[in-house]
Structure 1
């Protein structure tokens, strides 16, 4: 389960942010997870709850924003929502699409107590 290594990297990133901002601990961490990121949200939550003990996130809530897959059709220029992994533009029926969101995971915000 690669979510464990993702959480370890996430906790390192959070700890650096807390240190840089003169904080003591985190009460809430918000992450955005793309549906095509390869990250399973429920496994990420389990991993976060497991590894946060003894860190600045020990009492933190993890909020996950699940990002739909958004693409731009290179044929007609429209931005479209990819539903059910159907990579066909509903406007022009083109298949030359560029994914513009929904493939990554980002740390969006932290609530830090000082």
Structure 2
């Protein structure tokens, strides 16, 4: 399950930027052609955030569709799966979207004064 390593990388990137500040939420962009399963990441997120400033943070996903451009006929089209084939029959296509995997935003938790 490569989602465990990817999720650990996300947590490492966020904590490198936020330090010990508690995090309330993380939004990721995970393209539909990235090969990453959001439900598996969600499961891994709970595991790898235990004992970190991200523990209990909400994890949200943006799921951009796959898009491609045919080099033969010039058509732009949606890719519903990783089969790179244009409607004209050409397999000479360029994937232009859908493989993204990035942190879009991080929401820091409110710090409450202890009295």
Same-fold call, TM cutoff 0.5:
yes
Q: Which residue of 2 aligns with 1:96?
A: 92
Q: Quick one: which of 53, 59, 63 aligns to 2:56?
A: 59
Check 1:8–1:82 CA distance in 2 against 1; reply closer, same or farther (3 A cut): same
Q: How does 1:30-109 map to 2 (within 5 A)?
A: 30-90=27-87, 92-109=88-105
Ranges in structure 2 where 5+ consecutive residues have no aligned partner: 111-115
Tell me, yes or no, if structure 1 residue 9 matches structure 2 residue 6.
no
Larger CA deviation: 70-79 vs 6-15: 70-79
Check 1:6–1:85 CA distance in 2 against 1; reply closer, same or farther (3 A cut): closer
Aligned-partner Cα distance in 1 for 2:83–2:31: 16
**1:93 CA displacement:** 4.2
Ranges in structure 1 where 5+ consecutive residues have no aligned partner: none
More strand by share: 1
Aligned-partner Cα distance in 2 for 1:79–1:110: 33
Equivalent pairs counted in the alignment come to 110
Normalising by structure 1, we get a TM-score of 0.82
Aligned-partner Cα distance in 1 for 2:5–2:85: 34
**1:94 CA displacement:** 3.3
Q: Which aligned segments of 4 or more residues in structure 1 are displaced greater than 6 angstroms?
A: none
CA RMSD of aligned residues (A): 1.9
Q: Quick one: which of 25, 29, 38 aligns to 1:28?
A: 25
